[in-house]
Chain A
């Protein structure tokens, strides 16, 4: 294991890229100008072999954040402490700048969906989620970032809007937020809700990271497929968002049909340009 001082001390800033195994060798050999990387925690639990060794090498040059999909914080199942302990160990070992998760449930009765399932926006779900975020934050010794998830289902018994739910969660759990602009756009299309209202409702001062990705247009709905370039309307929404929260670190996510690293770097540059235009008050 490298000594902690072997790691770079650069802050998380600008447009980073989600680290995927296909690009690791190229990153190590070429050291591209990417400000930071985000890892999917589940892919890095191995304690020996090539996976942690490569991550250590990357960490010496790039700051890292951790993104998790399996804490299942909205689930009525008991918290999976083995999983959460692995996350804590990984975060300490690689000095991740922060850890993020999703507002959803992914398990029931110890069966995992491997997809982000939608919670109802009810007081019961809110209280349950807040309680579990608090437990996890106390164990990890830090605030976590909670991300707005894409949804294909809305419930008739929800009593508040998504924005109100997220705002109340952040305030009660004293957690930070990860705003996925693509998810917000996808949800607007899929549920005919106002993304502008979402932005008004959210406590934007708690947003520490923004996600951008490409959706897949399935005609009657948009699929949050992470397999395309960022669409023009999502980039415009991002520009509007960055006018409200300038300098917030932004991440390019691409998980399916993963292209060359250069394509992801070009996407990151598109995001950087949009953020700069936002800071100058320009439209795209």
Chain B
């Protein structure tokens, strides 16, 4: 068995498929080859399970250790890690939970779970987002009006937006404060949230629908002129300076740059 075949076979074993050719190459020395491979399967699962536990602590609290572990096992098999850095493992967990909610009747009381998981992922990812430069007011001020109108704004790398019809901010806050679980029921209007990195903290904030839609339009690279279209965002004059002050909008670029 050459090195390529051995490594391929080893990963087959890690993924739960027996490879008898590899097992035949393993010295037993008091334990079967399968028992020895179990140690690696356990270590590999343990590392990824632990990463998911740390990234999604509220999901863990809600699901409980045993159920979380069962679900994590399915996730890990379906979503093998493709990066050496475990801090960025788990991006597909919210979508995975959304699919699971459709299949598992025992999760019927937790319809908010995938939205909550997405909030946890966004909050975690904010810690690892790349650094932004400061907003260059001078450069914007030096532009001609016509040129400035075509400018696109850029959002803070750490900023994420989320809309949910469940009170996930209250659930998230309650679990982070060890408070009893908040009353969970679908709310009459959507809840708009953003999470970002502010110096050393990564807060979650509830924002207005217009703020959410304005930030979404900025993310979609609408120009200043488009953002300023009449009646589109009535509070843009108030919101935009706030976005810059909070560090949510960190720069701009001219089309073609």
Name A residues whose Cβ lies closer than 8 Å to a Cβ of B.
42-43, 45-51, 53, 69-72, 75-76, 80, 83, 105-115, 117, 119-120, 122, 124-125, 128, 152-157, 190-192, 220-221, 223
Contacts and interface: CB of A to CB of B under 8 A. Distances in A.
A113 B12 CA distance: 11
B200 A50 contact: yes
Contacts of A45: 85, 87, 128
Nearest to A71: B84
Most buried by B among A53, A76, A153, A155: A153
Q: Interface size bucket, B side?
A: 35 or more
B173 interface: no
Given A50-B200, A113-B40, 8 more contacts: A70-B85, A106-B84, A112-B81, A113-B11, A114-B81, A114-B86, A120-B25, A157-B25
B195 interface: no
Contact of A83 (B33, B85, B200): B85
B130 interface: yes
Contacts of A109: 8, 11
Most buried by A among B7, B30, B35, B48: B7
25 contacts: A45-B85, A46-B129, A47-B130, A49-B199, A49-B200, A51-B128, A80-B84, A108-B7, A108-B8, A111-B11, A113-B11, A113-B40, A114-B48, A114-B86, A115-B43, A117-B10, A119-B3, A122-B3, A153-B26, A153-B27, A154-B29, A156-B27, A191-B27, A192-B29, A220-B31
A107 B82 CA distance: 8
Contacts of A117: 7, 10, 40
Contacts of A72: 84
B248 to A, nearest CB: 14
Given A43-B87, A111-B80, A124-B2, A154 B7 contact: no
Closest 9 CB pairs of A and B: A70-B84, A48-B131, A114-B47, A50-B200, A115-B43, A111-B80, A108-B11, A152-B39, A154-B27
Contacts of B197: 48-49
B8 to A, nearest CB: 6
Nearest to B47: A114
B7 A46 contact: no
B127 interface: yes
Contacts of A128: 3
A162 B84 CA distance: 25
Interface string B29-64: 111010111011001100110010000000000000
B158 A76 contact: no
B131 A105 contact: no
B137 interface: no
Interface in B192-216: 197, 199-202
B43 A120 contact: no
A105 B9 CA distance: 13
Contact of A111 (B30, B37, B39, B81): B81
A212 B115 CA distance: 43
Most buried by A among B81, B85, B86, B199: B85
Contacts of A50: 127, 199-201
A222 to B, nearest CB: 10
A120 B3 contact: yes
Contacts of B202: 49
Nearest to A191: B29
Contacts of A76: 3-4, 7
B71 interface: no
B97 interface: no
Nearest to B35: A220
A46 B157 CA distance: 12
A223 B39 contact: yes
B39 A221 contact: yes
B25 A155 contact: yes
B74 interface: no
A193 to B, nearest CB: 10
Nearest to A75: B7
Contacts of A46: 127-129
Contact of B36 (A71, A75, A111, A153): A153
A75 B14 CA distance: 15
A116 B178 CA distance: 37
Interface in B95-113: none
Contact of B86 (A42, A190, A191): A42
Interface in B115-168: 126-132, 157-158
B187 interface: no
